[in-house]
Amino acid sequence: MDYFITGIDTDSGKTLVSAIFCEALEADYWKPVQAGAPMDSDTVRTLVSNPKINIHKETFFLNTPASPHAAAKVDGISINLSDFHKPKTSRDLIIEGAGGCLVPLNEHDFVIDLAASFTADVILVADLYLGSINHTLLTWRELLARKLNLKGIVFNGKSNPESERIILHHTGLPCLLRIDYEEKIDKQMVKRYSELLRSTWL
């Protein structure tokens, strides 16, 4: 299976969630577009314990930490959906998006269009800040409108039970995992949450 990790904002925790799902599924990792450093693929590499997990090379590495369409313009290149070819692997593949789902790749296409082109199931990461209910429900509606197969939500950060409850109530989606605020993010933390994910969802 292919799973596309998208978030309600740039700092929702997609890379951490990607590492946890890679560890839980023994899946490969791929970030099609990286805009600016540090490299999310390097972060995932430092967080997973399973040596069998393959970190695939980005299709585009852009120098500027900005929306891919803007970063590509700075680098003097253009991005097209036809440029992306899913890596070949016999394992599940975790695909991490760039920013939120409606971050532009070019004048016509958005990051979430990659999920549709790969026919990947979508996992939505929601961090819990003031305003996150609105952003989560708007993102959910956009995913529904595109008829994508949304597997569920991962809540990330300090728990807000009422926000979580109302989001799940309106979307009807399952909560796949809750990630608490953690002082230290390392291999042990990722392994702990991957075991929890395996026990509750997989």
pTM of the entire structure? Answer: 0.97
CATH number at residue 81: 3.40.50.300
In the chain, the N- to C-terminal Cα span, in Å, equals 12
Question: How many C-beta atoms lie closer than 10 Å to residue 15's C-beta?
Answer: 24
Q: Is the pLDDT of residue 202 over 90?
A: no
Active-site pick, 14, 31, 151, 191 = 31
E strand intervals along the chain: 2-7, 28-30, 33-35, 55-56, 60-62, 93-100, 121-127, 150-156, 175-179
Q: Which domain holds residue 152?
A: 2-200
Q: Give the tokens for residue 46.
A: 């430092």
Residue 31 appears among annotated catalytic residues: yes
Domain count, the chain: 1
The span from the CA of 197 to the CA of 23, in Å, is 10
Q: What are phi and psi of 14, to 5 degrees?
A: -60, -40
pLDDT at 116: 94
Q: pLDDT by residue (tens digit) across 177-199?
A: 999 999 999 999 999 999 999 99
24 pLDDT exceeds 90?
yes
Mean pLDDT value across residues 127-142: 97
Residue 122 CB contacts under 8 Å (≥ 6 apart), including other chains: 3, 4, 6, 112, 115, 143, 148, 149, 150, 151
Return the closest-CA partner of residue 10 out of 101, 84, 86. 101
How far lies 23's CA from each of 34, 69, 100, in Å?
21, 31, 23
pLDDT (0 to 100) of residue 201? 77
Express as a percent the part of the chain with pLDDT over 70.
Answer: 100
